[in-house]
Structure 1
Amino acid sequence: MTAFILVSGTFTGGWIWKEVADGLRESGAEAYPVTLTGMGDTGRPADAGTDLETHVQDLVRLIDQVESPQVVLVGHAYGLYPVLGAAGLRPERIARIVNIDGGLPQDGEPALGLVPDQALRDRLTAVPGPAGGEGVIAPPAPGEWQRWGSVEGIEAAGLERLARLSAPQPVGTLVQPLRLSDEAAELPMTGVLCTANGSSIQIVESVVGFGDPRFGALTRPGVTFFELGTGHWPMLSAPDELAAVLVRAAAGEGHRIAAAVQEQPVHLRPFLMDVPERPRERSGHIEFHRPDDDTPRPAVVFVHGGPLPADARPTPRDWPTLVGYGQYVASRGGVGVTLDHRLHDFTDYGRAAQDVVDAVELVRADPRVDGERVALWYLSGGGMLAADWLAAPPPWLRCVAASYPVLAPLPNWKLVDPRYRPSETVRGAGHLPIVLTRVGLERPEIMATVDEFLAAAKECGANIEVVDVPSAHHAFEAIDHTEEARGAVEYAVRTVLGHLRS
């Protein structure tokens, strides 16, 4: 018989697992919902010394009491930290770890990264001990839970229950670093990704493809994944589905991230069309793709997405899609520009925005560029960097384009500065032409940001043209080598260059 030990995230206790535990027991398994020290209902009260190690020991004591030979530890969000700590102390008892929407904690890393308020994070780390005498963090007020994760799928009664039964989180549980042993890191693991909160198997495969060694372990044979089309608290929004997934996870089922994804990840696949080769010239963090002569030409600056690992190689300006766009613009008589910016974390949008400003200044200063005719073209997660330019477009900015853009922070992008929300700045764009390429097979949470932007653009009468590619995916230039996709790229490039020349 399998025994599931269910460990909840911040502010919650064993009560949150009631329906899931019932479903597991109906399947013939044992279920042990845990209330960690200080987290309310039947758990022990917190004191000034309650920290992550306290919660680890809570779980170790329970593991020692469970007689079933197969123990599956299930951690939701913060709950994954004590789960990993306890697994390292009792690895011989653990058959599998299940990670529900909880990221990938590393050894020595505290759970502080889960806190969505940058000012609060800074305060918690600035003062030794429990934040200058504050021993706990109050749970979110009713109506504020979405700042900690998507509440999609939770009915009104569930939200009321979440607010009523939540408990303050001891600060020490968030600031004490995780001790992750090699034994725990090697245990079989299943990730349950909540797509409405911005997680998906596609994203995991993309991250693995960047070659970051932290994520290489996700290709191990014992690692599997499931997706649930719901928000961050599936035990409230989809308890029956979650219980069924946990049973399958315990059996070793689920999607496996093939090691082959590292051989040709999406961002390194060929561009969807053969483009005539044109001269390339590198300058600092930018690269020029030029026509064959030095006559001053209008320029299109391509801004890649992210966040991306800082040590990803090759860097984006050498990715086939970016090179393909740059070369294609050059073949059509413009100057194509690709660049590397430093969007490596959700807190980096300000730094990346400055990198784009610096790149544009270099481009406009080049004597072979008509500095009064420049377009900015954003891709994917770089889309939010368009916000400042839309708010107050300079006269030389003749067009803004975006392909499958993310135009607002996704639910789990908690630390993105709210300044980077183009739907709130597009009203300042005036008559600036905007060309938006929209893919029909986009992830729903990204499409929601596009819909929000288009609604705001319509409301303020923005000059926007949508290029629809109904059968295409996100990053379609590397995935969908179809006539429809090629036609969309040709039309979008022709339209942008037309605005530059008009």
Structure 2
Amino acid sequence: MTNFVLVPGAWLGAWAWDEVAGLLRAEGHEVYAVTLSGLAERHGPDSAQVGQSQHVEDIVSVVEGNDLRDVVLAGHSYAGIPVGQAATRIGDRLRRVVYVDSNIPTDGKSFIDGWSDEGRAWVEDQMAESGGFWPPLTAEDYVDQDLSDQAIAVIVSRSTPHPGRAISEPAQLVRPIGQLQTTYIKCLMDGADPSRDVAEQLRSPDWELAELPTGHWPMFSQPAALAKIFSGLA
């Protein structure tokens, strides 16, 4: 039995993993889906001030608070940044890190530091207009990502504004992420090639690449295929 700790990306809560978690539990694994501070049922008026360092603490607390061992720690999209940092802190409790079409942490850099000047100005304008939050995507943003109309409706209706501080606060690594046993899952409909920083890490013998022919939200579009990759790492 493996302990899976699953962390959703921007705007989402633990609910995003419901289908994948059910498939893994049916195979006998333990699954801990995490809602990060300031999101979903943990969202509140002051959530804009939640930083990604708090999200790291959220993840570490789940692992250490439940005394988990043999942990497969997975993060989707934005969550790759706090997941990568948490993975460097939990020591021999970790079995493997899994990045699901996600960003990865770079010491001293934030989620938006790698964006173009135009992209950064766009998101900063959005945060200024929404009281420090990064507003959720609209239904149109999920088109051509292998999602059913029903899945899109659920995602849009259940998404919550993302804490702006979390995407602008720099990461702090206590050891290089390239030294950790890692699987990077690239969702091909969201771009066929990994980003430059991911490609650099994939040179490490401890990193491997897996691919899924789907969009950026595989927990909704291809949950069985995603769960199969996860269970293969157990």
The TM-score, its normalising length taken from structure 1, stands at: 0.43
Q: 1:153 to 1:133 in 2, by over 3 A?
A: closer
Q: 1:185 to 1:223 in 2, by over 3 A?
A: closer
Distance 2:124 2:146 in 1: 34
Aligned to 1:137: 134
1:221 aligns with 2:202: no
Q: In the TM superposition, what whole-angstrom CA distance separates every residue of 1:336-377 from its partner, at most 9, and x where no partner exists?
A: xxxxxxxxxxxxxxxxxxxxxxxxxxxxxxxxxxxxxxxxxx
Aligned to 1:38: 38
Distance 1:117 1:139 in 2: 21
Q: In the TM superposition, what whole-angstrom CA distance separates every residue of 1:234-254 from its partner, at most 9, and x where no partner exists?
A: 000000010000111x24xxx
Distance 1:92 1:51 in 2: 26
State the percentage of identical aligned residues.
Answer: 31
Q: In the TM superposition, what whole-angstrom CA distance separates every residue of 1:99-143 from its partner, at most 9, and x where no partner exists?
A: 111144321221115879936x226669xxx74882212112222
**C-alpha displacement of 1:20:** 0.3
**C-alpha displacement of 1:27:** 1.5
Q: 1:37 to 1:60 in 2, by over 3 A?
A: same
Aligned to 1:348: none
**Paired residue type of 1:160:** A
Q: In the TM superposition, what whole-angstrom CA distance separates every residue of 1:290-348 from its partner, at most 9, and x where no partner exists?
A: xxxxxxxxxxxxxxxxxxxxxxxxxxxxxxxxxxxxxxxxxxxxxxxxxxxxxxxxxxx
Distance 2:35 2:167 in 1: 16
**Paired residue type of 2:18:** K
The gaps in structure 1 that reach 5 residues or longer are 252-502
Contact kept, 8 Å, 2:202 with 2:209, in 1: the verdict is no
Q: CA RMSD in A?
A: 2.7
Contact kept, 8 Å, 1:91 with 1:187, in 2: the verdict is no
Contact kept, 8 Å, 1:38 with 1:170, in 2: the verdict is yes
How does 1:27-106 map onto structure 2 within 5 Å?
Answer: 27-41=27-41, 43=42, 45=44, 46-106=46-106
Q: In the TM superposition, what whole-angstrom CA distance separates every residue of 1:180-226 from its partner, at most 9, and x where no partner exists?
A: 232544111001111111134xx68xx6xxxx8x8444232221121
Aligned to 2:174: 181
**C-alpha displacement of 1:74:** 0.3
Aligned to 1:171: 164
Secondary structure of the residue that 2:67 maps to in structure 1? coil
**Paired residue type of 1:138:** P
The TM-score, its normalising length taken from structure 2, stands at: 0.88
Secondary structure of the residue that 2:58 maps to in structure 1? helix
Q: 1:163 to 1:125 in 2, by over 3 A?
A: closer
How does 1:10-21 map onto structure 2 within 5 Å?
Answer: 10-21=10-21
How does 1:1-400 map onto structure 2 within 5 Å?
Answer: 1-41=1-41, 43=42, 45=44, 46-112=46-112, 118=118, 121-122=120-121, 131=128, 134-146=131-143, 151-200=144-193, 215-248=199-232, 250-251=233-234
Distance 1:154 1:226 in 2: 20
Contact kept, 8 Å, 2:6 with 2:73, in 1: the verdict is yes
Secondary structure of the residue that 1:219 maps to in structure 2? coil
Contact kept, 8 Å, 1:196 with 1:230, in 2: the verdict is yes
**Paired residue type of 2:231:** V
**C-alpha displacement of 1:19:** 0.4
Distance 2:177 2:115 in 1: 24
Q: 1:164 to 1:116 in 2, by over 3 A?
A: farther
**C-alpha displacement of 1:58:** 0.8
Distance 1:103 1:25 in 2: 27
Distance 2:115 2:18 in 1: 25
Secondary structure of the residue that 1:227 maps to in structure 2? strand
Q: In the TM superposition, what whole-angstrom CA distance separates every residue of 1:72-118 from its partner, at most 9, and x where no partner exists?
A: 11010101011012122223321111011114432122111587993
**Paired residue type of 1:81:** I
Matched residues, number: 232
Contact kept, 8 Å, 1:96 with 1:190, in 2: the verdict is yes
**Paired residue type of 1:135:** G
**C-alpha displacement of 1:160:** 0.4
Q: 1:123 to 1:237 in 2, by over 3 A?
A: closer
**Paired residue type of 2:214:** T
| Structure number with higher relative contact order (C-alpha < 8 Å, ≥ 6 residues apart) | 2
Q: Greater Rg, structure 1 or structure 2?
A: 1
**Paired residue type of 1:179:** Q
The gaps in structure 2 that reach 5 residues or longer are none
Distance 1:23 1:179 in 2: 34
**Paired residue type of 1:85:** Q
Distance 2:35 2:174 in 1: 24
Distance 2:192 2:209 in 1: 11
Q: 1:48 to 1:215 in 2, by over 3 A?
A: closer
